[in-house]
Amino acid sequence: FIQPKKRPGIHIIHIAAEMAPVAKVGGLGDVLTGLSRALQRKGHLVEVILPKYDCMDYSRITNLKELDLELHSVFDGHMHKNKVWSGIVEGLPVYFIEPLHPAKLFWRGKFYSEPDDFRRFTYFCRAAMEFLLQSGKRPDIIHSHDWQTAVVAPLYWEVYVPLGLDSARLAFTCHNFEYQGTENSGAIAACGLSVRDLMRPDRMQDNYFHSRINLLKGGIVFSNVVTTVSPTYAQEVLQPEDGKGLHGTLANHSKKFFGVLNGIDVEVWNPATDTLIDFQYSADDIDGKYINKQKLRERLGLGNQGGDERRPLVGCVTRLVPQKGVHLIKHAIYHTLEKGGQFILLGSSPIPQIQHEFEKISRQFKEHPQVRLVLKYDEALSHEIFAAADIFLIPSIFEPCGLTQMISMRYGTIPVVRKTGGLADSVFDVDDENISEEKKNGFVFDDANEGSLDWGLDRALDYYCRRPEWWEDLVKKAMLIDFSWETSADQYVDLYKHLLKNAQAAKQ
Ligand code: ADP
């Protein structure tokens, strides 16, 4: 193992359920890799612990090898054997935990949405903590993410500090308060925690359903610092509607709760070097963007002749879940068509009803020259859409941070977004007189209804068609905005350092 003694930097271990590009469902995967790489560049030792899913993209892991280690961890009152593998992902050392459990916890052909997710991830967290204890790793910071790994914090204080794993302070980031990981209270006992100690209103008892235990709440209560992924969302979740029952808990812990805006990995998302797009380009020379537009239209069988050349192309890449404003996305497809634009949607839904609904629309437009729906997860196509589109639509009902507005701007695709969460912190309306010229970078609408969306989208289509030179300047300006992790990673380092200073002071 890498033993981090006497290093100048901080030793940080992330425990998470996703990491791009090997195990990515949404933004959590991007954040894990982007933040970790930025921290590593700043001289810190960063390691990641993930479940060893069968459906990972193993081609993106180098040096994958099984460790010579007998790792037994407790679950349901029995000891279970685990294999532990190490490998490198995007330059980061990663440990993969493979439970040899009869339920084949991570051999399901998918990452989430299994009926026993609560058990799968509480098992994983217990095994991950056991790995830290047995391997002798003594990190300064253990950073867990979302409900899947929130139980790391109570496990640390209740079980592992007494066992001698006590070097660390705990950081917890919630990427979305909608998903909390609740179960009947007894379920928490499986990973070795005491129901009696934790089923208290000030600990892990669910604020709505008092017979249930809430993992996300445990992450908030037991971590030394809690962050979410944008300053605006950090404010919003203090309100009942967005806090989804945890607003009171957050208010009680507000002194340790911060909003840090996510960045994007500007090496992965770089139109000047991106090998997944047809033609690389940069803000100095954006002609390549139009070639990408042409090529993608050809590939998808969209109109690409004469009059089509200046036809605006609206793109949307998203999980199709209610949070993302699916009814507004549907409306925008028809509305764009009415206005003479083209629309490409890349998205898939874990909710069968929504998936079927969009499949129906997709069939309706199967041969249509102006609309294409691709209803799956496709990383390469997502890059092509970011590069090819003129306008990018994000009509979210709520949005903790959102990455696609930043990615699209980096590719010179102008976002049309609803003013909520991280979208409000990163997209600034070109027509808003209260915003300085230099900050203006897109189109923002206020309400989650069709009229409001039309107002935002129509202005974008109109500017694109009537003021091509102005538009081109906006494209170049958007491409040059710094959305890298640099600044945000510094904010995380400040929070970590603050924790370590307090820990030091407490010892003296
Ligand atoms: P969330 O985490 O809520 O899904 P974010 O905007 O934070 O939303 O992150 C979404 C990430 O997932 C982006 O990198 C986006 O490009 C990617 N993504 C979403 N849907 C798809 C899809 N169908 N195919 C490829 N990438 C997708």
Amino acid at 156: Y
User: Is any atom of ligand 1 closer than 6 Å to the C-beta of 453?
Assistant: no
Q: Please give the pLDDT value at position 26.
A: 87
User: Is any atom of ligand 1 closer than 6 Å to the C-beta of 319?
Assistant: yes
- For residue 339, count CB atoms less than 10 angstroms from its CB and return exposed for 0-12, middle for 13-18, buried for 19 or more: middle
Quick one: pLDDT band at residue 507, thresholds 50, 70, 90? confident
Same-domain check for residues 423 and 501: no
Q: Please give the pLDDT value at position 307.
A: 75
- Residue 247 neighbours by CB distance under 10 Å: 18
Please count the residues of the chain: 508
Q: Please give the pLDDT value at position 340.
A: 95
Quick one: pLDDT band at residue 2, thresholds 50, 70, 90? low
Same-domain check for residues 292 and 235: no
Q: How many CA atoms lie within 13 A of 483 on its CB side?
A: 34
The tokens for 123 are: 């098992």
pLDDT at position 356 over 90: yes
Ligand 1 atom having least distance to the Cα of 262: 7
Q: What is the distance in A from the centroid of ligand 1 to the CA of 209?
A: 31
The tokens for 277 are: 């797009």
pLDDT at position 266 over 80: yes
Backbone angles phi, psi at 130, to 5 degrees: -60, -40
Can you name the residues that pair with 11 across neighbouring β-strands?
A: 45
Q: What is the distance in A from the centroid of ligand 1 to the CA of 317?
A: 6
Query: Residue 81: in which H helix or E strand, if any?
Result: strand 78-89
Q: Please give the pLDDT value at position 176.
A: 97
Any domain includes 387: yes
Any domain includes 484: no
Any domain includes 320: yes
User: Is any atom of ligand 1 closer than 6 Å to the C-beta of 230?
Assistant: no
Q: How many CA atoms lie within 13 A of 265 on its CB side?
A: 23
pLDDT at position 309 over 90: no
Same-domain check for residues 259 and 345: no
Q: pLDDT tens across 66-76, in order? A: 999 999 999 99
Q: How many CA atoms lie within 13 A of 199 on its CB side?
A: 16
Any domain includes 253: yes
Q: Please give the pLDDT value at position 350.
A: 92
Any domain includes 6: no
CA nearest 99: which of 88, 115, 476, 76? 76
Alpha helices, DSSP H, located in 261-412: 287-300, 326-338, 352-364, 379-388, 404-410
Give CA torsion, residues 428, 432, 433, 437, to 10 deg.
Answer: 40
Q: What is the distance in A from the centroid of ligand 1 to the CA of 28?
A: 9
Q: Please give the pLDDT value at position 385.
A: 98
pLDDT at position 6 over 60: no
Q: Is the ipTM of this complex over 0.90?
A: yes
| Contacts by residues 112-121 (CB-CB < 8 Å, ≥ 24 positions apart) | 112/17, 112/25, 112/148, 112/350, 113/350, 117/148, 117/181, 118/181, 118/182, 118/183, 118/187, 118/215, 119/187, 119/190, 120/51, 121/17, 121/51, 121/147, 121/148, 121/149, 121/151, 121/181
Can you name the residues that pair with 46 across neighbouring β-strands?
A: 12
Any domain includes 3: no
Q: How far apart are CA 276 and CA 419, in angstroms?
A: 31
User: Is any atom of ligand 1 closer than 6 Å to the C-beta of 379?
Assistant: yes
pLDDT at position 338 over 60: yes
Q: Are 307 and 276 in contact (CB under 8 A)?
A: no
Report the chain's terminal Cα–Cα distance, integer Å: 30
**Mean of the pLDDT values across residues 401-412?**
98
pTM of the full structure: 0.94
Same-domain check for residues 167 and 220: yes
Same-domain check for residues 340 and 202: no
Quick one: pLDDT band at residue 1, thresholds 50, 70, 90? low
Any domain includes 282: no
391 Cα distance to chain centroid: 22
Q: Please give the pLDDT value at position 43.
A: 97
**Mean of the pLDDT values across residues 490-500?**
97
Higher pLDDT, 399 or 307: 399
User: Is any atom of ligand 1 closer than 6 Å to the C-beta of 458?
Assistant: no
Same-domain check for residues 401 and 495: no
Residues 6 or more apart whose CB falls under 8 angstroms from that of 161 comprise none
Q: Are 21 and 152 in contact (CB under 8 A)?
A: no
Same-domain check for residues 232 and 327: no
Q: Please give the pLDDT value at position 3.
A: 56
Higher pLDDT, 508 or 484: 484
Any domain includes 1: no
Q: How far apart are CA 262 and CA 421, in angstroms?
A: 12
The residue written with tokens 């309306």 in the block is: 429
Same-domain check for residues 389 and 257: no
Q: What is the distance in A from the centroid of ligand 1 to the CA of 230?
A: 17
User: Is any atom of ligand 1 closer than 6 Å to the C-beta of 400?
Assistant: no
Q: Which domain holds residue 107?
A: 11-264+490-507
Q: pLDDT tens across 153-210, in order? A: 999 999 999 999 999 999 999 999 999 999 999 999 999 999 999 999 999 999 999 9
DSSP notation for 296-339: HHHHHT---SGGGTT--EEEEEEE-SGGG-HHHHHHHHHHHHHT
Collapsing DSSP to helix, strand or coil, 349 comes out as: coil
Residues 6 or more apart whose CB falls under 8 angstroms from that of 178 comprise 244, 323, 398
Across the chain, mean pLDDT equals: 96
Residue whose CA lies nearest to ligand 1 atom number 26: 379
User: Is any atom of ligand 1 closer than 6 Å to the C-beta of 57?
Assistant: no
Which of 268, 358, 404 to mutate for ligand 1's pocket (most ligand atoms within 8 Å of CB)?
404
Q: Please give the pLDDT value at position 5.
A: 53
The residue written with tokens 């069709």 in the block is: 450
Q: pLDDT tens across 197-237, in order? A: 999 999 999 999 999 999 999 999 999 999 999 999 999 99
Number of domains in the chain: 2
pLDDT at position 119 over 60: yes
CATH at residue 51: 3.40.50.2000
